[in-house]
Amino acid sequence: MKTGVVALSGCWDSGLTTILDVLRTADAARPRVDRNIPPLETLTVATCLDPVHTAGGLTVPVDRTIDDCAADTDVDLLVVPALAAQSPAMMVDALMREETQAVRATLRLWAAEGRDLAAACTGTFVLAEAGLLDHRHATTSWWLSDIFRHRYPAVELDMSRMVVLDGNIATAGAAFAHIDLAMSLVARVSPALARETASALLIDERPAESVNAVTHYLSDHDQLDPGHVVRRQARRYQGIHCPLQAAGARRR
């Protein structure tokens, strides 16, 4: 599987690097699992070959333009990581940038050929703005769900799952859901490889501070329904520790 990860100026650093790190770790783990598993090659793609500057100031080299990816048949999947928008207004501004509009135009051509797409967090807005999620089930970042519903009423928004697969398009939730999305992509290639990758990157018996932080946050924001805290935490924890769950998502 050859994956092009779309790097837009001002993208969320961890979103971009998480997708790249998980897929590259999975490829390195192939010999330990089964040498017959096909390689997982990753490319960083952008609107031009100039290095891309992330929101945090990282300079990311570009392997190939997105137009070249669309013209070639060797790239199997394009993934759009999150844009670093800190408010609904910033999200709209990011969508209106010339660079983002150019990416949307290419994504439409890509989708017209029935080729696979994926996006996480605010990257889902790029797909939705291009009309590629209309009449599909999809998810997005929880704190932008209201504006997403208002802006894209034709999308069947599902906020109950961390990764939603509908046909050839996968979408994932908020920033840390880049891990869930990447793990679901690995599981498409090989569930055994996904388990090996998870053991290298995700599974640890030591208590995780991130889980405690999520618990406290949900407790503060779900006071009317304490049981909802448990359900939301369980879904998130499942997404981290059972990355193969997404591989069984229904195609529609």
| DSSP classification of residue 244 | G
- Provide the 3-class DSSP secondary structure of residue 65: strand
Q: How far apart are CA 176 and CA 213, in angstroms?
A: 13
pLDDT tens per residue, range 58-108: 999 999 999 999 888 899 999 999 999 889 999 999 999 999 999 999 999
User: What is the spatial distance between Cα 5 and Cα 225, in angstroms, rounded to a whole number?
Assistant: 39
Across residues 209-228, what is the average pLDDT? Answer: 52
Mean per-residue pLDDT, 2-26: 96
Continuous segment of H or E residues that includes residue 99: helix 98-112
Residue-wise pLDDT tens digits, 196-206: 999 888 756 56
